[in-house]
Amino acid sequence: MRVAIVAAGQTRFGEHPDLGVKELFASALAEMGPGVDWGGVEVAYIGSLSCGQGMQLGNFAPALLDYAALPPVPAVHVENACASGGFALLQAVQAVASGQVRCALAAGVEKMRDLSGERGRYWLGISGDTEYERLAGLTFAGVFGLMADRLLYEGRIRRSDLAAVAVKNHRHGALNPKAHLRREISLEQVLAAPPVASPLGALDCCPTSDGAAAVIVACEEMAWQLTDRPVWVDGWGAASDTLALHSRGSITGLAAVRRAAAAAYAMAGVGPSGVDVAEVHDCFTVAELIALDELGFCPLAEAGFRLEQGAFALGAGGLVVNPSGGLKAKGHPIGATGVAQAVELFAQLQGESGARQVPGAATALAFNMGGSGASATVHIFRKEGG
């Protein structure tokens, strides 16, 4: 059964000191605009790592639906680290595709800016291996720093390649009114930023953010009743990998991403060259470089040179990667990230992205990752007639 996204909404990502997770969730729903038929929604999947202080953990999803005055449909809390939102979307899409329900809500929310730095690092660290990584002192940034350091040692990337990712995504984020970091930065600023986990500096890392995002997914018959411009979810895939880096055959690849992408491409009947715009998980700059390779967009050894020439950027022609600013500039409220990627691509395929619109975008890809690649989802979207 064909599946479509028919409505989407997202809060501004950043600091929301006066809003809790319930208010953020309700705000994302409100961003869909008036006229949404909430009575048609039969099930809800809500992604969140639940890392805020004082959050409701038991019955988290029903509590959010209750606050937003939605119908008391089955509500499920989906947690898969930083891929929680992507897996919430996957559950909604699969529920509709199976024919069990006609319409589902996929959402994600996170409240992170009220955490101390120490507590924030703890919650981020639990997305990696506890016994051999976090308890041994390895931070989340440290895991990706190891990956980047190995690639530099092997001569497969340059330090400036990492910086080029940050420069591009900040340029895009400056055009996004809902981005956390709306400012451009220079290559020199990235290279001179204080170190966080060598070789990664402060400007190689995404911010922690508050925010929420939501989409409504419907079967084909219902989609046409709800909108005259559905965005079709034509392919999806998910995969897992070993959690700890030391258990992998290589620490410089993301095997789960490669497998998830292969499944999504096969289902959609499209390859990497057929994608016009992509939102990829760039929690750290090295993650985007590796993703370009694993998704089949560009060999890793060529990525930095192509970025220097303006590739993957708005206005350059060809594939545009992270027009929203990505996690690096748009922000990373963990549970909301994967759903927010779908919100951005829904707008892109409807031609409603304003200054960051990708001309002629007809096919889009979203890649969301948990931890350092232990889980991953890939979705492929097409506009009507695309």
Enumerate residues 6+ apart whose C-beta is below 8 A from 70.
29, 38, 41, 44, 105
Residue 54: other Cβ atoms inside 10 A: 8
Identify the CA nearest to 385 among candidates 351, 362, 360, 357: 362
Do the Cβ atoms of 121 and 135 come closer than 8 Å?
no
Let me know if 332 is a catalytic residue. yes
Can you tell me which residue has the tokens 């729903």?
29
Does 298 qualify as catalytic in the annotation?
A: no
213: Cβ contacts below 8 Å, ≥ 6 apart: 8, 9, 10, 11, 28, 85, 107, 108, 109, 336, 339, 340, 342, 343
In 3-state terms, the chain is what percent helix, strand and coil (to 5)?
40, 20, 40
The CATH code that applies to domain 3-115+208-231 is 3.40.47.10
Residue 119 pLDDT: 64
- pLDDT score of 37: 86
> What does the domain layout of the chain look like in residue ranges?
3-115+208-231, 140-205+232-383
How far is the C-alpha of 340 from the C-alpha of 70, rounded, in Å?
A: 21
Q: Which entry of 82, 103, 206, 283 is annotated as an active-site residue? A: 82
Query: Can you spell out the DSSP letters for 48-105?
Result: ----STT---TTHHHHHHHHTT-----EEEE-BTBTHHHHHHHHHHHHHHTTS-SEEE
In terms of CATH architecture, what is 140-205+232-383? 3-Layer(aba) Sandwich (3.40)
- Per residue of the chain (386 residues), give pLDDT as tens: 899 999 999 999 999 999 999 999 999 999 998 888 899 999 999 999 876 554 667 889 999 999 999 999 999 999 999 999 999 999 999 999 999 999 999 999 999 888 666 666 666 666 667 777 777 778 889 999 999 999 999 999 999 999 999 999 999 999 999 999 999 999 999 999 999 999 999 999 999 999 999 999 999 999 999 999 999 999 999 999 998 888 999 999 999 999 999 999 999 999 999 999 999 999 999 999 999 999 999 999 999 999 999 999 999 999 999 999 999 999 999 999 999 999 999 999 999 999 999 999 999 999 999 989 999 999 999 998 77
Catalytic choice (77, 281, 332, 379): 332
CA distances from 167 to 152, 161, 171, 175, 380 (A): 19, 10, 6, 13, 26
Q: Do domains 3-115+208-231 and 140-205+232-383 have the same CATH topology?
A: yes
> CA 170 to CA 172: how far, in whole Å?
5
